[in-house]
Structure 1
Amino acid sequence: MAKQNWLESLKAAKKTALVQDGKRKVHYLFSDGKEMAEEYDAKTHELLVRKWRQKSSLGAYGQWEFEVGEAPLSGSALQQDFLKESSANPVFIRKDTKTSFQWRIRNLPYPKEVYNVSIDKTDRCCVIRTTNKKYYKKFSIPDLDRCQLDLNDSALSFAHANNTLIVTYQKPKEILSIEEGLAKELKSMKTNADGDVECKTQ
């Protein structure tokens, strides 16, 4: 079963964990050489960051690709103002809750009735359109892809407040079951205390 395969691959991955700055940071190294790093709130256990990277054909590590959360601005990026995106551009970020996948698109000032959020089952993705043709976005849900789960129209909803469109997809029971299994696995791991070691994913 695909669901089981993903949980088994998480369990089989080489893992290191530490608690630092109120976050539990977990690093996974998979048998195919891919790396995944996650950060959880140490108190609520909510997922804050999930990012991936893999080696190129020459053996060098590529950039971290963020699946959940957003990359922190580095000092060099802050200095290069001329390269910075306009602060008025829409910013698309995934930020999950315990029971749902959630995406926030900031800098979208249009009223709620302008947005249309739907599922494209052929391409296995969610689609955001606006009737004023000002914004269009297609995005997949990697968690469902990894477990080969179908997208369900009734799980999708959206809201709009403070110039931010919030798209919510209720997690199916299979995903909740995997997250519960992973939480048990992580709790059983020895975790280095705050500040004892550097997280090797940094």
Structure 2
Amino acid sequence: MKSVLIIGLGRFGHHLCIDMANRGNEVMVIDKDEKKTPDLLEYATAVRVGDCTNEEVLRSLGVGNFDLCFVCIGSNFQSSLEITSLVKELGAKHVVSKANRDIHAKFLLRNGADEVFYPDRDIAERLAVKYSANHVFDYFELSKDYSIFEIQPKAAWIGRTIEEADIRANYHINVFGIKKNTEVVVLPRADYVMHEKDHLLVVGLTKDIDRLLASIK
């Protein structure tokens, strides 16, 4: 369990609060608009109303006591930058700030953010990858070069074991899971026989997985 402070209650801040609370974390939320706070009372440990560009408001929260501080302000970059900087100056252990553009991310990182996230860009990229290829069910980027894909097996693999298909040697990727309807087989054995309706969870260099996808008919 972690103690979490969420500053800014737009759509993303709301979802983050609910998801964090449902995972057993202690969550405090704050927004300057009182209308955005009531529906989170059942999830958050504490709900506050205040303008976090005011240093005294932030100081009263005791930001240094939280394991994580999220700055989820997307509509006003100046406010996001000021709050990120103030939160770090007041002793926040780890600050994660929302960015809408690369230039915003650079300024946030220079002014106190330990990490930045791009929810709109990340979702758009994930959807673009998923729907651009006929054989991709889901996709997750691990880094600039590595990704996880949920794909269908090649026709030539059906009825063969993972070892027989020699996927690692031929494509330099690893099969770390098999989805069968709602069941997931984690780290399947080399003698697992692949079926037509299986979904393979593969990890590797994105360029290698793209090469595999291009070969699936």
- TM-score scaled to structure 1, two decimals? 0.27
Between 1 and 2, higher relative CO (CA 8 Å, sep ≥ 6) is seen in: 1
Which structure dedicates a bigger proportion of its chain to helix?
2
State which structure, 1 or 2, has the greater radius of gyration over its C-alpha atoms.
2
Structure with bigger strand share is 1
State the TM-score, normalized to the length of structure 2: 0.26
